[in-house]
């Protein structure tokens, strides 16, 4: 079976913003407005929706309202792309209220986001074979100037089926959100040098396969539920090329990361895996003398799976825009990295 890619994003296309997880509190509405202005200045039409403007009990609205709005946007032929304002906590409770049989029959729509939004993107791709994108959220587009990696969302989503798009590691990353929160809408504050790391210790390495992944904190919740389609995804789409998992974490210790990876491994998620891309661990703590590298070696070394970590993915921006379902060739060279995605 072949991955189905949404129509490439073009100037004049409509982008819908829908808060399928958390909405935006009143004090930060200015970020929605600035992001809308910035994206429209690039030639796109932006439609903000009812869920975007509200936040209560860590949700934008009830699960029923969020599901109804999301389904209406997926069903709307004038909507090319859906970008939630940001992540949140409880997007998983929307999954049972989406009409998955109908979604399988609809033309694919680009969904772009990370954090809790990766829950939706992950199931959307593994359940339907429709590609989705892990990367910048809408609120982050409120910055007066987009960094090279964040701005790459336009290039990635405008790539046509059969074409290629390349991305590189950043030069610097943001280690703390303190200034970003203190001065909303001013962009990221990069303060640390980016160095991708290779678990093997070799200076050069590469692997290839089909991408899939998201944030461990919420993907782990899917295991064993009716929305765990990883086995079918591997058998249908990655059996010939292998799978590249991209993963990130927030506020997880080395022990919690190990437990999460252990559960994924023992549920068969890492069968046919050729490589792992692990994002910079945000809010990471070490469990006594058990380090992140220990967790990675104990999970992946026995299987001979290559691991690149401290990669540009997740909550320590900037981040590459990674497409669930795309075939990728990833190379590592002395602390830098390159990701070539082929929409086949």
Q: State how far the Cα of 81 lies from the Cα of 132, in Å rounded to an integer.
A: 10
Query: Taking all residues of the chain, what is their mean pLDDT, rounded to a whole number?
Result: 97
The first and second tokens of residue 303, run together, are: 């299987």
CB 256 within 8 A of CB 220: no
Phi, psi dihedrals of residue 311, rounded to the nearest 5°: -85, 160
In a 3-state reduction of DSSP, which class is residue 192? strand
Residue 213 above 90 pLDDT?
yes
Alpha-helical (H) ranges within the chain are 29-41, 63-74, 100-105, 117-128, 153-157, 178-182, 216-222, 230-233, 254-266, 292-296
Phi, psi dihedrals of residue 189, rounded to the nearest 5°: -120, 90
* Residue 181: predicted pLDDT: 87
Greatest alpha-carbon span in the chain: 54
**Closest listed residue to residue 48, CA positions, set 150, 56, 40, 11:** 40
Per-residue pLDDT reduced to its tens digit, 83-140: 999 999 999 999 999 999 999 999 999 999 999 999 999 999 999 999 999 999 999 9
The first and second tokens of residue 331, run together, are: 């190379």
Name all domains of the chain by residue range, CATH numbers in brackets. Answer: 14-162 (3.40.50.10740), 172-342 (3.50.30.60)
- Give the C-alpha distances (Å, rounded to integers) separating 324 from 26, 48, 90: 33, 25, 21
* pTM (predicted TM-score): 0.96
């Amino acid at each position: 079976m072949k991955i189905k890619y949404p129509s490439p994003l073009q100037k004049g296309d409509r982008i819908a913003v829908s808060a399928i997880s958390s909405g935006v509190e009143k004090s930060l509405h200015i970020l929605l407005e600035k992001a809308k202005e910035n994206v429209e200045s690039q030639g796109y039409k932006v439609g903000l929706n009812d869920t975007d403007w509200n936040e209560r009990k860590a949700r934008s609205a009830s699960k029923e309202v969020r599901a109804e709005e999301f389904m209406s946007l997926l069903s709307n032929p004038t909507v090319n792309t859906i970008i939630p304002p940001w992540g949140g906590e409880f997007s998983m409770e929307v999954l049972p209220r989406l009409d998955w049989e109908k979604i399988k029959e609809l033309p694919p729509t680009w969904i772009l986001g990370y954090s809790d939004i990766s829950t939706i993107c992950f199931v959307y791709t593994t359940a339907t074979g429709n590609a989705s994108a892990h990367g910048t959220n809408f609120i982050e587009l409120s910055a007066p100037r987009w960094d090279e990696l964040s701005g790459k969302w336009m290039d990635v989503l405008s790539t046509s089926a059969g074409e290629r798009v390349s991305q590189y590691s950043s030069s610097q990353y943001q280690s703390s959100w303190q200034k970003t929160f203190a001065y909303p809408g001013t962009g990221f504050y990069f303060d640390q040098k980016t160095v991708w790391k290779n678990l093997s210790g070799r200076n050069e390495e590469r692997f290839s396969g089909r991408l899939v992944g998201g944030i461990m904190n919420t993907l782990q919740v899917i295991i064993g539920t009716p929305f765990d389609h990883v086995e079918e995804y591997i058998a249908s789409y990655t059996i010939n090329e292998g799978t590249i998992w991209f993963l990130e974490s927030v506020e997880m210790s080395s022990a919690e990361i190990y437990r999460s990876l252990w559960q994924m491994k023992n549920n068969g998620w890492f069968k046919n895996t050729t490589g792992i891309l692990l994002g910079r661990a945000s809010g990471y703590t070490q469990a006594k003398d058990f380090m992140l590298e220990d967790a990675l070696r104990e999970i992946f070394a026995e299987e001979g799976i290559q691991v690149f970590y401290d990669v540009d993915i997740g909550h320590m921006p900037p981040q590459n825009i990674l497409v669930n379902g795309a075939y990728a060739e990833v190379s590592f060279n002395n602390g830098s990295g390159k990701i070539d995605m082929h929409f086949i």
